[in-house]
Structure 1
Amino acid sequence: MTQVYDHGGGVRALRVPIPDNPLGHTLVYVVDTDRGPVLVDTGWDDPDSWDTLVAGLDACGTSAGQIHGVVVTHHHPDHHGLSGRVREASGAWIAMHEADGAIVRRTRETRPERWFTYMSAKLEAAGAPEEHVAPLRSGGRRRHPGFSPALPDRAIVPGELLDLPGRRLRAIWTPGHTPGHVCLHLEEDHPAQLPGHGRLFSGDHLLPEITPHIGLYEDPDDATITDPLGDYLDSLERVGRLAPAEVLPAHQHAFTDAGARVRELLAHHEDRLTGLLTLLAEPLTPWQLAERMEWNRPWSQIPYGSRTIAVSEAEAHLRRLVKLGRAEAVTGGEPVTYVAV
């Protein structure tokens, strides 16, 4: 059954399913404008997800063919996946921050084999065992989805209002979960007059009960050392200062008191960094650190793809510790190990 929730003030949410994913669904928001409805995210590119989105739009009194535009909080397939189908149905524009737009272009232009070769090298450098790296070299790589995401045709400019006639929706750049993640601040009175400053479409940046993945998104041809966790923590503080009356996230449910949630997440990451220093009393590779970190299940029960994501998150935390001068790489060995200082 299609689930539609009316948040008032011309904003509704549709629960679009994510196949075979514990998150269950993406909350796609339908925002009324003077030129027709605009979507904030679109959901996963899957037939059932598309049917759910279409049925939800019908329940809202509109249709996929009437969508004026799509605002993408970030490039992940559970947010951007159906954007192309929406544009095919309606001619809608697709807007995305340039940093994530660059990832979309790079993904489309790079042969899958190039990506798997790069990922194999990254995992080997992180200390992954051969049994984890070997599948990336096999023919099974050709079954990997997600290599043709829709190209955006508009750039979201941080700090500026989006071109939504009759609405005031301002882009807030919140890198960390992805380099070009944006939150969207609806600078209008809350329809229920809740205290605070408007409403915030928070994507995956600020969720009520879970912590978003912070990993690495790098150009194979760019040697820049990024600090995505540092970017995320800075972005959290920026969002907290907005003090929205209500947060409309892309997963779970709407909530109030963004400031309290920001403080919880900042404390969580500080506790996690401190805990990692205890683990780094002995030199560890990123893979070894990931094996010892606390996840939502024991390492032995974490599936293959999630282990790759976990190692990326472990490396993001290591980079933060190194930048803070709390850990350092041990020279002279391969793969590289890290130790607390």
Structure 2
Amino acid sequence: MTTQVTDHRGGVWSIAVPIPDNPLGHTLVHLLETDRGPVLIDTGWDDPDSWEALAAGVTACGFALTDLHGVLITHHHPDHHGLSAKVREASGAWIAMHAADTAVVRRTREATSDGWLGHLLDRLTAAGAPEEHLAPLRTARAGGGGRRMPGLRAALPDREIVPGELLDLPGRRLRAIWTPGHTPGHVCLHLEEEHPARHGGGFGRLFSGDHLLPGITPHIGLYGDPQPEDGADGADGPGEAADPLGDYLDSLERVGRLDPAEVLPAHQHAFTDAGGRVRALLAHHEERLARLGTLLHEPRTAWQLATAMEWNRPWAEIPYSSRTIAVSEAEAHLRRLVKLGRAECVPGPGPVRYQAVDAAP
């Protein structure tokens, strides 16, 4: 296996950790040198080849796994948090995450397969999914479960990343920026230090996770794990009234105002002009919302809307699991339109249908 490590200078490296059977190819795990030892930002997917790449990458950066002091997780998805338990076992490092995503990790560990599948079936049924899409989930539930979900072996974090605070990393100034949308507890991390290459414009470097990527629009869907309505269990969970797309757009504007000199994302490559990328993503989502408003001049379910939306391939070529993700993204856009007063639910039995407000009779 070829170890792909990039020295970004100033005690910052990135390690390309492969994601098995995924077109993204790899997660860029960043290593930040501190006075107490190196700290990882994310860990990669829980897979033997991924672990081998991460371990080799740490060595290529000039450190041993036992040198690792801590792990900062930008969000709970398995290509970021998956190897955290193995890192902690090998090094004794602490694991830190925003409280909202830690709550997702805890619920994931506690939920039964039956509960997860039942929640998903209810959501897809309400969205108007056809029986041929629901049938495999019914079969899996009747058989006592389905494929084991990824990420269940990831560590339960033992520290909290508190938005706005400087993290306890001696010798470095790294501030947490809460950027919900892709997940409820997604964080970016702003290295408040002069860029070693003295890039013109902006200040510092931003470890952006999946929030801001140079050539990909991150998935923004409903926060999909089983959870109480509006955080009714006393946690800060998002509940069923959450507005992930609204969260994401607000977070984008916050990062745009931050104006870092360089962005170090978790996929693809480092880039400059964060403000330009933020403006492009804001424009993309506004155009998409406008197109959906046009589609909603006749009542549609979330499934019908998803089949009519523009994706990176025709709907007939989208795999089964990706269709479920696409419907979640359609639901997030519908939620935003409803919050803005541009769409509303149409009363009636069966799957939930939506219509543009200006199209209502």
The question of a shared fold, defined as TM-score above 0.5 by the shorter chain, is answered with yes
Q: Distance in 2 between matches of 1:143 and 1:321?
A: 34
Instruction: Please name the residue that 1:143 is paired with.
Output: 147
> Which digits, 9 at most, give the CA deviation of each residue in 1:289-338, with x for residues without a partner?
00110001111111111111100000000000011111111011310100
Q: Distance in 2 between matches of 1:212 and 1:270?
A: 15
Q: 1:222 is aligned with what amino acid?
A: P
Q: Please state how far the C-alpha of 1:140 moved relative to its aligned partner.
A: 8.2
Matched, 1:303 2:319: yes
Q: Distance in 1 between matches of 2:89 and 2:96?
A: 15
Instruction: Please name the residue that 1:259 is paired with.
Output: 275
Matched, 1:178 2:183: yes
Give me the TM-score of the superposition, normalised by structure 1. 0.98
Q: Distance in 1 between matches of 2:291 and 2:171?
A: 48
**Same amino acid, percent of matched pairs:** 74
Q: Please state how far the C-alpha of 1:110 moved relative to its aligned partner.
A: 1.1
Match for residue 336 of structure 2 among 320, 336, 339: 320
Q: 1:144 to 1:9 in 2, by over 3 A?
A: same
Q: Distance in 1 between matches of 2:306 and 2:227?
A: 26
Q: Please state how far the C-alpha of 1:23 moved relative to its aligned partner.
A: 0.5
Q: Please state how far the C-alpha of 1:142 moved relative to its aligned partner.
A: 3.3
Q: 1:143 is aligned with what amino acid?
A: R
Instruction: Please name the residue that 1:134 is paired with.
Output: 135
Residue 322 of structure 2 aligns to a residue whose secondary structure is helix
Matched, 1:200 2:201: no
Instruction: Please name the residue that 2:238 is paired with.
Output: none
> Which digits, 9 at most, give the CA deviation of each residue in 1:172-194, with x for residues without a partner?
00000000000000000000011
8 Å CA contact 1:199, 1:246 repeated in 2: yes
Give me the TM-score of the superposition, normalised by structure 2. 0.93
Q: 1:257 is aligned with what amino acid?
A: D
Match for residue 243 of structure 1 among 259, 263, 267: 259
> Which digits, 9 at most, give the CA deviation of each residue in 1:132-162, with x for residues without a partner?
1122232384322223431000000000011
Structure 1 residues 61-70 or 144-153, which shifts more? 144-153
Q: Distance in 2 between matches of 1:333 and 1:142?
A: 30
> Which digits, 9 at most, give the CA deviation of each residue in 1:238-262, with x for residues without a partner?
0000110000000000000100000
Q: Please state how far the C-alpha of 1:100 moved relative to its aligned partner.
A: 0.2
Q: Distance in 2 between matches of 1:148 and 1:55?
A: 21
Residue 2 of structure 1 aligns to a residue whose secondary structure is coil
Q: 1:214 is aligned with what amino acid?
A: I
Gaps of 5+ in 2: 231-240
Gaps of 5+ in 1: none
Q: 2:171 is aligned with what amino acid?
A: G
Match for residue 274 of structure 1 among 290, 306, 313: 290
Residue 36 of structure 1 aligns to a residue whose secondary structure is coil
Moved runs in structure 1, 4+ residues, more than 6 A?
Answer: none
Instruction: Please name the residue that 1:333 is paired with.
Output: 349
Residue 6 of structure 2 aligns to a residue whose secondary structure is strand
How big is the alpha-carbon RMSD for the aligned residues of Structure 1 and Structure 2?
1.1
Instruction: Please name the residue that 2:10 is paired with.
Output: 9
Instruction: Please name the residue that 1:222 is paired with.
Output: 228
> Which digits, 9 at most, give the CA deviation of each residue in 1:175-215, with x for residues without a partner?
00000000000000000011311000000000001100001
Q: 1:150 is aligned with what amino acid?
A: A
Q: Distance in 2 between matches of 1:102 and 1:264?
A: 32
Instruction: Please name the residue that 1:79 is paired with.
Output: 80
Q: 1:19 to 1:282 in 2, by over 3 A?
A: same
> Which digits, 9 at most, give the CA deviation of each residue in 1:27-69, with x for residues without a partner?
0001000011000000000000000111111111112222110
8 Å CA contact 1:65, 1:86 repeated in 2: no
> Which digits, 9 at most, give the CA deviation of each residue in 1:107-150, with x for residues without a partner?
00111221111111111011111111122232384322223431
8 Å CA contact 1:108, 1:149 repeated in 2: no
8 Å CA contact 1:216, 1:313 repeated in 2: yes
Q: 1:307 is aligned with what amino acid?
A: R
Q: Please state how far the C-alpha of 1:221 moved relative to its aligned partner.
A: 4.3
Write the mapping of 1:162-177 to structure 2, written as runs, cut at 5 A.
162-177=167-182
8 Å CA contact 2:108, 2:225 repeated in 1: no
Q: 1:190 to 1:67 in 2, by over 3 A?
A: same
Residue 142 of structure 1 aligns to a residue whose secondary structure is coil
